[in-house]
Amino acid sequence: MKTKIVKFLKIVVPVLLGIALVWYFYQKFTPEQWNEMKRHFKEANYTFLFLSVLLSLASHILRTHRWHLLLRPLGHDPKWFNSFFAVCIAYFMNLFIPKSGEVSRAVTLNQYENIPLEHGLGTIITERIIDLVFLLLFFSLAIFLNYALLMDYISSVIPGYKLLWTLLILFVVLIVFFYWVQRSSQQFALRLRKFIAGLIQGMASIKKVSALGVFIVESLLIWGLYVASFYAATFALVETSSIGWEVIIITFVVGSFTFAFTNSGIGYYPLAVAGVMGLFGIALPLGNAFGWLIWTANISSINFFGLIALIGLPIVNKK
């Protein structure tokens, strides 16, 4: 019972916090600000939002192929549609539980391709490590482009000392936990060691990738498509079509963090985008309208392709 309650709270609490944050923020809006934001929605060019979605879809296709490059050295060559649908379902699942998509990807290939769960998770963790490296590179670029403004915004959202203490405590807990796992002879620890060994094997698959050059190029293209998708969306509004790259990169980075650490940025993404744009003198209603437009386009596509994947998987695997 307690486990079910904890799982339920993990799903509901972040969403409720996001909704509360949205309510708290927007109840301060004046009627004039509401009217201005509505005007931006009416005047938006939705063709560019559709282009943004297509670029995002292209990144999913490349991600599917890149995943295969990691699976093949382990002796697995899944059907392309199974892998692609697994990627789509992963994004869909992240709407409800943060990071549950990674597990759902591995479970999907385990169910339809008989790929061991630890192999699937290991390769996915490898992917996520690569993605984190790229996100940190973009973060470094954002800092380089405008250090003072970005640091002011982040420190206003997450106080530095809290972040430092959280990371330090987490680091100590992980060290103690892994020490116990290595030393303990309990059944749970033995199973976990076996599982971790499988994960390490999966993560090490990058060393065995024969087309390492292709893997690196595809990683660059995936993140290039992410930025291109965001950039295309700026043309949906006349007022954001001429913003500089320093604004685009910083807004993209902060928005990406909200997607990575919450339920796909529910409530947080539009506010984060508006907050960053506000640092560059962009009016609050305009920043909010842009944030909601790009977030809604992304979430709509995630729902659409996620549902197609859930329906399509049993069909393409029908014997």
pLDDT digits (tens, 9 = 90+) for 102-145: 888 988 999 888 888 888 888 888 888 788 788 888 888 888 87
Q: Among 96, 90, 91, which residue's Cα sits nearest to residue 12? A: 96
Quote the mean pLDDT of the chain: 80
Contacts 24+ apart (CB under 8 A), 208-213: 208/73, 209/69, 209/70, 209/72, 209/73, 210/72, 210/73, 211/69
Rg value, the chain, Cα: 21
Query: According to DSSP H, which parts of the chain are helical?
Result: 2-26, 31-43, 46-71, 80-93, 100-113, 117-145, 147-157, 160-183, 187-203, 212-233, 245-261, 268-279, 284-316
Q: Are 267 and 166 in contact (CB under 8 A)?
A: no
First vs last C-alpha separation in the chain: 39
Q: Are 222 and 138 in contact (CB under 8 A)?
A: no
* pTM of the predicted protein model: 0.75
Q: Are 286 and 29 in contact (CB under 8 A)?
A: no
Tens digit of pLDDT for each residue in 242-281? 888 888 988 898 888 887 766 666 767 888 888 888 888 8
Q: Are 249 and 262 in contact (CB under 8 A)?
A: no
pLDDT top residue among 63 and 27:
63
Domain ranges of the chain: 40-316
Over residues 58-65, mean pLDDT: 94
Positive/negative CA dihedral, 50, 52, 57, 62: positive
318: burial class by Cβ within 10 Å (0-12, 13-18, 19+)? exposed
Over residues 297-311, mean pLDDT: 88
Given this model, what pLDDT does residue 198 score? 62
Over residues 40-62, mean pLDDT: 91
Judged against a pLDDT cut of 80, whether residue 29 lies above it is answered with no
pLDDT top residue among 87 and 207:
87
Judged against a pLDDT cut of 80, whether residue 16 lies above it is answered with no
Given this model, what pLDDT does residue 66 score? 92
For the chain, how many residues are written?
Answer: 319
Judged against a pLDDT cut of 70, whether residue 34 lies above it is answered with no
Cα→Cα distances 142→134, 224, 240, Å:
12, 15, 18
